Homo-oligomer: A and B are copies of this chain.
Amino acid sequence: MSSPATRPGSAAPTTPHEHFWAVIPAGGAGTRLWPLSRERSPKFLHDLTGSGRSLLQATWDRLTPLTGPQVLVVTGTAHVQAVRDQLPDLPPDQLLAEPSPRDSMAAIGWAAAVLEARDPEAVLGSFAADHVIGDEDAFRECVSSAVAAAADGHLVTIGIEPTHPATGFGYIELGDRLGDGPAHAVSQFVEKPDRERARTYLATGRFRWNAGMFVVRATVLLDLLAQWHPDLAAGLRDLAADPSRLDEVWPGLEKIAIDHAVAEPAAAEGRVAVVPGGFGWDDVGDFASLGALLEDAVGMPGVQVLGDASQVRLVDSTGVVVPASGRLVALVGVEDVVVVDTPDALLVMSRERAQDVKGVVEQLRVQRRTDLT
């Protein structure tokens, strides 16, 4: 199958990157956004910014100016229909359905193998379906630089300028500058640090957040993978050559994250570059970060509402309110509270305990309340 860019009779995409494809892994349960996010209706399918577009749709909107319709979405079979409904312009053969979750290397590697088979020069950029970007023009400029840096054979990651000493993300240490562009070598990837270490990182000015964004030639990614995980690379290429073997091949693929499988060992060999990005990024990890993304509701200082603010009544209260059931939500004398009101479950939480909602989801899973998780 030819790429859309060269398909006879189709218009060339209005993009500066003829061989550039966006890969959007659309997975993850979003447990810390329960009860809004559920296994059957995960985070990426929801409008979490009040923009009118789901995170997945916003990801599409953000990338297609660079790629045209050259987008591959990789998602679980359970979400195929929802993805089709939300992205009507995604060509059907550009939606890859994973029979089961096998971590990020299998998902992105499968897309890479499919692209390599379509276009040996394909460059892919992998961007999660459930992140939020502040300055989209700056983001695309950064991605364009990464595409340029990928052309010479680097695995290129994007290093987000940190705004605070976050302990929830991995960090990337910048090494020497590569050429005249904004790209640097990656000195090292580091795991999620504690607060003290994160402060030290920020003070050096050399560390960036690892948002899991990779830009790389499809063939380079698979060749790097073949160096450390030859069976996985071979399996993915087999799959691309004969899609009918999916149910046979998929369950045997190694379950590993792309960072561990490729990015970290390749960095040690000097094969990874990083393009710093200062465009404002958030992975909307919990309701506290969701609140931080929203403006205060009109006439409600200190209160962020995702949804219809006319459904909220306040007496001396602050916090994050998600009125998602159509009911009235009244707050009286509560500070920094999170209230998420859905048709079958209600969450009332302290904003500072926003990570701990997973404790509720764990209880419900143990109790096999699959109707609610």
Contacts and interface: CB of A to CB of B under 8 A. Distances in A.
Contacts of A363: 313
> How big is chain A's contact interface, by range?
20 to 34
Given A313-B363, A315-B359, A350 B327 contact: no
B346 A327 contact: yes
B348 A332 contact: yes
Copies of this chain: 2
A149 interface: no
Contact of A353 (B316, B344, B345, B352): B316
A333 interface: yes
Contact of A345 (B35, B330, B339, B364): B330
Contacts of A364: 313, 328
B357 A346 contact: no
Nearest to A342: B327
A246 to B, nearest CB: 37
Interface string A137-149: 0000000000000
Contacts of A333: 349-350, 352-353, 356
Nearest to A364: B313
A316 B349 CA distance: 10
Interface string A335-369: 00101010111111110110011011001100001
Interface in A264-311: none
